Structure 1
Amino acid sequence: MPSSFRRPPRFAAGCAVAAFAAALSGPAWADPAPAYDALVARLAETPLITEAGALLDAAEARVRQARVRPNPLLGLEAENAFGSGPFDGYSNAETTLSLSTDLELWGRRGARVNVARAEADTASRRAVLVAADAAGRLALYYAEAEAADRRFRLASEALTLTLADTRASLALVEEGREPLLRGIQGQTEAAAARARLDEAQAERDAAFARLTGFAMLVRPVTSIEQSLLDRAPALAVSDTRPAPAVLVAEAEREAADRRITVERIRARPDVNASVGVRRFEAEDATAITFGLSVPLPLFDRNRGNVEAAQADFRAADARLQGARQEAEADRVAARARLASAASRVSATDSGVESAEEAYRLSRIGAEAGRISQLELRSSRAALIAAQNAALDSRLARVRAEIDLARLDGRAPFGAVQ
């Protein structure tokens, strides 16, 4: 075979080796992410938890405000002054200083406080839900970052194996034991492996950036030292308490029920009482005044607001029923997915061991000339697929644990919140 047809594949393999070395070269330092449990303990610093805490503080402040009685009204009124005839000037004037206030009859204040308390309870339960969601997102970003880092390493390993097989294939081509097509195929596979490595590197950088941003870390994360993918969650029966979403729906239903009472009370007359002192300038005398004022419910009886509150209650009750059904179904599904994922992890780990042994024997056979290059490529592809399947099974196990932990109102993997 002419040498001019043999050099390009060998030159391409050399370029591939150089490109692989350049791809792996990078900063000598690496800033590892803090442990997952440590990040969970710092979730209070994240904007999600901060916002939920602020909303809870606002709701509790509204409870305190609801307990406050309305301010009395101080009035000063002058009559029969600065007119004409006997009312010229101020000598015959009548001056009244009065103090009036809303009596808040019919349980107005108590109903108002009950609504504020129900809304504060809703905010409190929603804060628990937000905390569980935040812990779940943190676990997901942490696991995805670790998975992306492992995929990058697998892609690097796959490129190393591909280049090694390509070099072996080129050696056989040099010896005339394999056609030139095998060298060209090896070059194509090496290029595809380099492309997958570049894609894996981009995914890894993006996953590290998401973890850094959500965890509010000062320095960008560049590596994962403490694994979450290898951390097996407990398969015991999860908590039987209602899911946080159900608790929120229950609190919202209770608040809607109490608003109906408030609107019904508003339909009753708002009674105001007043007491004062009147000064009679002409007689140089004073007298006490007192009175009650009650609006006549001729037109506005608050029926629209009562009906609206009742409709809101029916909607809240429907949401509660839906939340209960959905939570129960999701909990059963999450338990099933978690058990299935745990079994899948064990199976894929066994598959990786078998694929590694098969590839090792294929390499030995190919070097001895007993196995063709096509069989070697097939065993290498099977090994790469098995390694990625094992990684996917671990990520699926983490996601199933995240779903179950969110329904239980806890941090995934039992981390302390």
Structure 2
Amino acid sequence: MPPSYRRPQRFAVGCALAALAAVLASPAWADPAPSFAELLAQLDQTPATLEAGALSDAAEARVRQARVRPNPTIALESANAFGTGPFSGYSNAETTLSLSQSLELWGRRTARINLARAEASTVSLQRDLAIVDAAGRLALTYAEAEAAQRQAVLAEENLTLTVADARAALALVEEGREPLLRGIQGESEAAAARARRDEAIAEQEAAFARLTAVAMLPDPVTTIDSSLLNRIPAGAIPAPAEAPTVRVASAQRDAAERRIAIERIRSRPDVTASVGVRRYEVEDATALTFGISLPLPLFDRNRGNIEAAQADFRAAEARFLTARQNAQADRAAARARLSASASRVAASDAGVTAADEAYRLSRIGFEAGRISQLELRVSRTALVAARTSAVDARLARVRAEIELARQDGRAPFQGAQ
């Protein structure tokens, strides 16, 4: 056999080995991940929701503590005892046992309870928002893992098609219908496709590792059987009266207003009443004592704290207005992106069908000698690009649904098909 044909034979062997390696690289076992609905049902066990729940419990405990009145103070005092002269012993002593209690005038207790309730309401709304964010993060991680799995499959299919095209080119070279350069080009394309396949597998493994960590699964995920990318988001869902971010900002504004009332009350004297019994040893007699004490507001009238609370309220009011404006714009943008992503998915699916048919016809034409290898390569590249675009379109649809669900204060794909 002439020397010009030895390289194509070695190339054919290399292609066959590459195809065999592609098959052997597929996992022999698989541990499928639970469905997104199953993982969503276990969302309350994730660290983010556990933290949010603990903070809410702490806020409710502070509300209960705010209702508690201050403890009374009991005091025992002896005077005129163990001195000098007539007071050398305890016979002339005066002993007083008294009980003091803060009266909490000016609505101190009510203001304290109202502030604790406002802060607890804020934390409760933040907990709900944290759960929604955790659900969105789980959905995105799940969708990205599924997309990586599909990209790995597409890279494997691309390698298979590239090897098949290279073998077809080799057959034409051996028949003398194509120059040796075509075989070398096919070998180069197969090597590039093999590298892309290896990269896609690495990305898949990384995405599965992220899903295993985010979902707190006991065993590593190696495959996804229940598709989230193919789920169609729910139809028109009525917009909530207020977005979760707006409700949180509103609650923070209310809490800031309650703090102003607290600081104003603190500027007023804290009146303490006391009652007691006094024992006179020298007369062998007892008498009642009572009194009222309060601080004189000569130096500290709490003006700085009042002004600071008022400034905090103005800042909270500005955040509330900003949150309301952003929520309206963000929800409209999310709905527009979701609608556009649905159109993109439909267009990409049609593009895959057309590209698949174009590649099939190109392959027939190439084997018949009516189409060049360059035209076959272009049709194969278009097919791979169309399939990749279809995966990206579905991932974009999931992202749009996650953002819209966050604006609505719900988990993604609730009520979806």
What's the TM-score once normalised by structure 2's chain length?
A: 0.97
The one-letter code sitting in structure 1 at the alignment partner of 2:21 is: A
- Matched with 1:223 is 223
- Is 1:49 equivalent to 2:49 in the alignment? yes
The one-letter code sitting in structure 2 at the alignment partner of 1:373 is: Q
1:316-331 matches, cutoff 5 A:
316-331=316-331
The question of whether the paired residues in 2 share the 8 Å contact of 1:280 and 1:286 is answered with: yes
- Matched with 2:124 is 124
Cα distance between partner residues in 2 of 1:16 and 1:268: 89
The question of whether the paired residues in 2 share the 8 Å contact of 1:20 and 1:194 is answered with: no
1:205-284 matches, cutoff 5 A:
205-284=205-284
Please report how far the alpha carbon of residue 294 of structure 1 lies from its aligned counterpart in structure 2 after TM superposition: 1.0
Aligned residues: 415
1:286-301 matches, cutoff 5 A:
286-301=286-301
Cα distance between partner residues in 2 of 1:12 and 1:79: 111
- Matched with 1:340 is 340
The question of whether the paired residues in 2 share the 8 Å contact of 1:37 and 1:415 is answered with: no
Please report how far the alpha carbon of residue 29 of structure 1 lies from its aligned counterpart in structure 2 after TM superposition: 1.6
Cα distance between partner residues in 2 of 1:239 and 1:246: 13
- Matched with 1:183 is 183
- Matched with 1:15 is 14
Please report how far the alpha carbon of residue 7 of structure 1 lies from its aligned counterpart in structure 2 after TM superposition: 3.0
Please report how far the alpha carbon of residue 402 of structure 1 lies from its aligned counterpart in structure 2 after TM superposition: 0.3
The SS at the match of 1:178 is: coil
The SS at the match of 1:412 is: coil
Cα distance between partner residues in 2 of 1:261 and 1:242: 27
- Please give the per-residue CA displacement for 1:171-199, whole angstroms capped at 9, x wherever unaligned: 11122211121111111111111111111
The one-letter code sitting in structure 2 at the alignment partner of 1:171 is: A
Cα distance between partner residues in 1 of 2:412 and 2:20: 38
The one-letter code sitting in structure 1 at the alignment partner of 2:128 is: V
The SS at the match of 1:117 is: helix
Cα distance between partner residues in 2 of 1:168 and 1:27: 28
The SS at the match of 2:52 is: helix
The one-letter code sitting in structure 1 at the alignment partner of 2:14 is: C
Please report how far the alpha carbon of residue 113 of structure 1 lies from its aligned counterpart in structure 2 after TM superposition: 0.4
- Matched with 1:398 is 398
The one-letter code sitting in structure 1 at the alignment partner of 2:376 is: L
Cα distance between partner residues in 2 of 1:291 and 1:394: 77
Cα distance between partner residues in 2 of 1:20 and 1:45: 44
The question of whether the paired residues in 2 share the 8 Å contact of 1:141 and 1:211 is answered with: yes
- Please give the per-residue CA displacement for 1:158-179, whole angstroms capped at 9, x wherever unaligned: 0000000011111111222111
The question of whether the paired residues in 2 share the 8 Å contact of 1:208 and 1:222 is answered with: yes
The SS at the match of 1:75 is: strand
1:157-176 matches, cutoff 5 A:
157-176=157-176
The one-letter code sitting in structure 2 at the alignment partner of 1:14 is: V
The question of whether the paired residues in 2 share the 8 Å contact of 1:13 and 1:163 is answered with: no
Please report how far the alpha carbon of residue 28 of structure 1 lies from its aligned counterpart in structure 2 after TM superposition: 1.9
The one-letter code sitting in structure 1 at the alignment partner of 2:144 is: E
How has the CA–CA distance of structure 1 residues 371 and 288 changed in structure 2, closer, same or farther, with 3 Å as cutoff? same
Cα distance between partner residues in 2 of 1:241 and 1:38: 29
- Please give the per-residue CA displacement for 1:333-374, whole angstroms capped at 9, x wherever unaligned: 000000000011111100000000000000000000010000
How has the CA–CA distance of structure 1 residues 282 and 229 changed in structure 2, closer, same or farther, with 3 Å as cutoff? same
Cα distance between partner residues in 2 of 1:374 and 1:295: 94
The question of whether the paired residues in 2 share the 8 Å contact of 1:94 and 1:281 is answered with: yes
- Matched with 1:152 is 152
How has the CA–CA distance of structure 1 residues 9 and 301 changed in structure 2, closer, same or farther, with 3 Å as cutoff? farther
1:49-198 matches, cutoff 5 A:
49-198=49-198
The one-letter code sitting in structure 2 at the alignment partner of 1:41 is: A
What's the TM-score once normalised by structure 1's chain length?
A: 0.97
The one-letter code sitting in structure 1 at the alignment partner of 2:185 is: Q
The one-letter code sitting in structure 1 at the alignment partner of 2:240 is: T
The question of whether the paired residues in 2 share the 8 Å contact of 1:36 and 1:142 is answered with: yes
How has the CA–CA distance of structure 1 residues 7 and 282 changed in structure 2, closer, same or farther, with 3 Å as cutoff? farther
The one-letter code sitting in structure 2 at the alignment partner of 1:352 is: V
The SS at the match of 2:413 is: helix
How has the CA–CA distance of structure 1 residues 115 and 9 changed in structure 2, closer, same or farther, with 3 Å as cutoff? farther
The SS at the match of 1:115 is: helix
How has the CA–CA distance of structure 1 residues 297 and 214 changed in structure 2, closer, same or farther, with 3 Å as cutoff? same
The one-letter code sitting in structure 2 at the alignment partner of 1:156 is: E
The question of whether the paired residues in 1 share the 8 Å contact of 2:98 and 2:275 is answered with: yes
Cα distance between partner residues in 1 of 2:16 and 2:335: 46
Identity %: 69
The question of whether the paired residues in 1 share the 8 Å contact of 2:136 and 2:402 is answered with: yes
- Matched with 1:6 is 5
The SS at the match of 1:413 is: coil
Cα distance between partner residues in 2 of 1:157 and 1:258: 64
How has the CA–CA distance of structure 1 residues 23 and 299 changed in structure 2, closer, same or farther, with 3 Å as cutoff? farther
Please report how far the alpha carbon of residue 237 of structure 1 lies from its aligned counterpart in structure 2 after TM superposition: 4.2
Cα distance between partner residues in 1 of 2:381 and 2:251: 55
Which is worse superposed, 141-150 or 18-27? 18-27
Cα distance between partner residues in 1 of 2:23 and 2:61: 56
The one-letter code sitting in structure 1 at the alignment partner of 2:95 is: T
Structure 1: which 5+ residue stretches go unaligned? none
Please report how far the alpha carbon of residue 21 of structure 1 lies from its aligned counterpart in structure 2 after TM superposition: 3.2
1:321-400 matches, cutoff 5 A:
321-400=321-400
The question of whether the paired residues in 2 share the 8 Å contact of 1:40 and 1:415 is answered with: no
The one-letter code sitting in structure 1 at the alignment partner of 2:379 is: S
Aligned CA-pair RMSD: 1.4
